[in-house]
Structure 1
Amino acid sequence: MTGYRRLYIPGGCYFFTVVTQDRRPILTEPAAIQRLREAVRRTMAAHPFQIDALVILPDHLHAVWRLPDGDQDFTSRWRKIKHYFSIGQAPGQTRDSLARRREKGVWQRRYWEHAIRDELDWRRHIDYVHYNPVKHGYVPSPGDWPHSSFGRAMRMGWYPEGWGTSVPVVVKGMRCVGE
């Protein structure tokens, strides 16, 4: 057994990366995007949380969440989202290890989470989420990617017009857009 541990902070803010099994591009069809959105809505209805940023790419997604005061249980939320999405998804490649656990092989078992430490850390992760479709070469600017919270962030005044169209620079290990 590994010594893998997660940091649980009541009312915490977290950055997540969730990846499909074997990085299969299953999040490309409108029906899959809709099913994922419905899984998130269904989970939020039962276990509220706030989404500060979200981007859905063909084989993974990034999100920044804020949990309610006193609540630290993001693991159950991700388990439910993955479950609700997987109900309507055809099984992926079957392996003995997946079959023994009655898993469909739609998502990687684990996901990456990072507890946001402060305002600067939050900003860097919000930028990373919104710039990710450009980083992967899907679109020339963040506003061109349809499965992102970037448009909402623009309407809220988080970004100036044209943000994300300049050459990216590396800021402490995170790819962000230069000013």
Structure 2
Amino acid sequence: MSEYHRLYIPGASWFFTVVVADRKKRSLLLDNIATLRQAFRYVKQRHPFNIDAVVVLPDHLHCMWTLPEGDSDFSTRWNLLKGHFSRSLEEGERVINSRSKRGERGIWQRRFWEHMIRDQVDFNQHVDYIHWNPVKHGYVAKVSDWPYSSFHRYVKAGIYSENWGHAGDFELETGE
């Protein structure tokens, strides 16, 4: 078995896909959106970072973070975020033996997918992909109809129009 290695670049921006372990629980993240928001606040207070864009779907989320200068440790942040969220939920999920032996919950898939943002075009494409994702998965017909997205912040900032993305096609390699 080969060992998995991640790239760590201080101060970089990163795109992430993070998925729940049991994707059949189609509403876990949305049913616990306040808990998820609290987990993000908890981690940001202890290990600051900027959330450039985010979308939360029922069973996975996509986001882009920019880490502070000199800081490359996104893995600790995800570990803390997943742990804080998991400990806040009632137990009762299915837990496989390997997780049980380690004292782990069965809320999240162990790994997450990351992509280092290389330039402004890459940044823009991934932000567009994040905001288009609820339409891609058929949850809504218009990007603006999805409430769990930074799209609304981008509209307020004048970056997107309210009707942005009606004809979009944002197929990127994202780990889904």
> One fold, TM greater than 0.5?
yes
Greater Cα shift, 84-93 or 119-128:
84-93
Task: Give the equivalent residue in structure 1 for 2:62.
Answer: 62
CA displacement at 1:27 relative to structure 2: 1.3
Q: 1:113 — aligned with what?
A: 114
Segment of structure 1 superposing worse, 15-24 or 90-99: 90-99
The answer to whether 1:147 aligns with 2:145 is no
Corresponding residue for 2:12? 12
> Partner residue of 1:138?
139
Bigger relative contact order (CA 8 A; separation at least 6): 2
1:27-106 matched pairs, under 5 angstroms: 27-29=29-31, 32-89=32-89, 90-106=91-107
Q: CA deviation at 1:111?
A: 0.2
Q: How far did 1:156 drift?
A: 1.3
Q: What amino acid sits opposite 2:123 in the alignment?
A: W
SS at 2:10 equivalent: coil
What amino acid does structure 1 have at the position aligned with 2:65? Answer: W
Letter in 1 for 2:101: R
Match of 1:174 in 2: 172
1:3 offset after TM fit, Å? 2.9
Tell me the percent identity.
Answer: 50
CA distance in 2, matches of 1:161, 1:19: 28
Question: Hey, which of these two has a bigger chunk of strand by percent?
Answer: 1
Does structure 2 retain, via aligned residues, the 8 Å contact 1:11–1:69?
yes
| Unmatched segments (≥5 aa) in structure 2 | none
What secondary structure does 2:54 align onto?
strand
Which amino acid letter does the alignment assign opposite residue 37 of structure 2?
A: R
SS at match of 1:22: coil
State the Cα RMSD in Å. 1.4
Report which stretch shifted further, 151-160 or 8-17: 151-160
SS of corresponding position for 1:174: coil
Using structure 1 for the length normalisation, give the TM-score: 0.90
**Aligned partners of 1:91 and 1:104 also within 8 Å:** no
1:158 corresponds to which letter in structure 2? I
Q: Does 1:126 align with 2:124?
A: no
CA deviation after TM superposition for structure 1 residue 169, in Å: 3.0
Matched letter for residue 74 of structure 1 = F
Q: Deviations over 1:44-68 (max 9, x none)?
A: 0010000010000000000000000
Alpha-carbon separation, structure 2, partners of 1:85 and 1:91: 15
The one-letter code of the counterpart of 1:140 is A
| Residues 49-103 of structure 1: per-residue CA shift (max 9 Å, x gap) | 0001000000000000000000000000000000110012234212111101111
Residue 28 of structure 1, CA deviation:
2.6
**In structure 1, distance between residues paired with 2:72 and 2:126:** 19
